[in-house]
Structure 1
Amino acid sequence: MKPSAYLAYVIIGGATAWEFPKVAFSPYDHDGNEQQQPIAPLEVDDNIDIITGSQFHGLKTFANLPYVNCFSDDEAATKRYDIAILGAPFDTSVTGRPGARYGPTGIRIGSQSEDVLHDWATIVDCGDARLTWLDNNVAFRQLDKSHKVVSSRPTANSTISKTPRILTLGGDHATTLSALRSAFVRWGQVSVIHFDSHIDTWRPDVLGGGISDYAGLNHGTFLHIAHEEGLIRNTSIHAGIRAPVIRKNSDIKNDKRCGFEIITARDIGKAGGIADIISKIKERVGNSGVYISVDIDVLDPAFAPATGTAEPGGWSTRELLTIIDGLRGLPVIGADVVEVSPVYDNKGETTGLAAAHIGLSLLSLMVAVPVKADANT
């Protein structure tokens, strides 16, 4: 069959159709053999958009937000922001499976099809803090300084707040300590809403510190240390707890001393369910500034297998997102999603997707209620 000289769409209903350009072409070569029609080059259209429209292009930032090198004085001076995403690729203070150093990347990949509600706020992704994996003491000093620098920049909308807020992507849960240290400098003591299957208020001499002082700061002791440093209020709360404690009576006693009440994972099945949990959290923190920390293992392993210390019997992704969204109206001064270890995820990257949605919900809470830092007054 002889090839057509050109292809064209049929004009239907009087609508204007388009067609490939007509090119002078002989269907046979000099020897009389049938030859393939060449593809005509397309003309360059100056109006073609090459900036937007694809979730598969370029560097992977959270929800395709603009990247800003927040550690560069020159760049931060010209690209101001109100809320920053900061990765904390660190996992050398875990007591279970390692791998959370790859969590920030996994969460960003899971967020590629999402859009962030900006409203008044300019939100950017600062990339990851540069953390060594060979010395925890140095790594925590690096992360402390990273938070200090990112939160010290002038904001894009200074009429609302002069201090940026930070959503941290972890990383193991000990990285939250650096965020709380930074938050204290800017906002003073905060109430912590801690979504987790573990209490994380163990005394260092009980978990890690019995080996060495170096080992005493880890992902199960950071809230104890935060309390000892005077960073958090005695109006904090755990939600989703279900893992066993090391010393039943003394661990719970110390947890209360650190300022926490407990909502267990199974409380969701009691009368009142999700609505009651939301109400208890709001009542507990009152009008204080709030820091929300979400360990992905608060979810049942069926919904989030990719974590270091998985505990069966947790909440579903829908239940957790409903609870977080129900906290709308609280003055959230900072937040994190931690303990995502992508190497343990399934082929559908279920955990990364869940963590990304959690991050978006946390950002929505931050945008919904602008907060002025103590430095603004």
Structure 2
Amino acid sequence: MQGLVLTEIVGGVGVITLNRPKALNALNLAMVRELRDVLEAWRHDARVHAVMLQGSARTLPDGTSAARHFCAGGDIRFMHEAAITADLTLDDFFTEEYALDHVIHVYPKPLIAWLEGIVMGGGMGLAQGATLRVATDGIKMAMPETRIGLFPDVAGGYFLSRLQGATGEYLGVVGQAFGVDDALHWGLADVRVPAEARQVWLQGLQARPVTSGDEAVARARALAADGVEPAPQFSLHQAAIDRHFGLPSVADIVHSLQGDGSDWAQATLAHLAGNSPLMMAVTLRQIREARALPLAEVFRLERNLVRQCFAVRKGAAGETVEGVRALAVDKDHQPRWQPATLDDVTSEQVQAYFEPPWPAHAHPLRDLLDPA
């Protein structure tokens, strides 16, 4: 029986494969721990000049492979069950996932994230700290947490807040999914490659191993697709994104969008209507606070926030638990948000999520350091 994380060294590159294809390679605690162990083992391994991180594909009954996905995020069913049963491993999951993502951001060897299919939530946390983010045409990226009563964590506050204009607010509050052209435009991917490039890359490593991390990155970049005319879908609306999502509150944003008769604005309003009003307000503040914070502080802020997501209202009453129930457990897509509308969200309700649950000396991520 194969493990949840597969590893091999191919031509000087350590290849890590997330191996929960039926769950779209969503992360659970065992995977997080295995990934951390592998990265620590390869940190000083002279055979490994760079690391490649990819997702696996499900094998179909006829022996062929289904579409390959990088990682759909964290295991939200586990989060739901753990919160309902007061399973303390829920705390372990978030602490260790954030610590893993921090390792990727500061890893001493180049790390190449090979992005195919769905790259969302926890998958973005793995990808955005990578040295090189290689994307294929079929990617579907998003930080869709407000749809499940959460916020864009895994350093989402860090990488979203540093995008141009109000793009971070837009992607975090709305949770909009987007493709490769928008990812390249916004700097959430570095290079676009054709679908067959992954196999070409691996065969090339076998035939001619790399002798340094820089060589591995250069050869991955050289796989870039030529002559492809970009076709962004959402970044075309950058001026409107900045105008609306630069406003002080989510209520202001919605009011402004309501006065914009464009198809994009109306589609954005329709998407916002399904999100948690409270967590959209929390997300807006999170991204704006994170803009002024270094990486380690962002991880600590988000660890505080996620603890409060399961502590402000416990068990089934929690906003995140209700969001996951509606989307993935009962699948009725009718979340009963509390409060139900933006007009009912108070500053006190938002502030409750930003109250530190631990003193600084006891914070579970107190030992994280910023990149040198």
Would you say same fold, with TM above 0.5? no
TM-score by length of 2: 0.29
TM-score by length of 1: 0.29
- Flag the structure with larger Rg: 1
Greater helix percent: which structure? 2
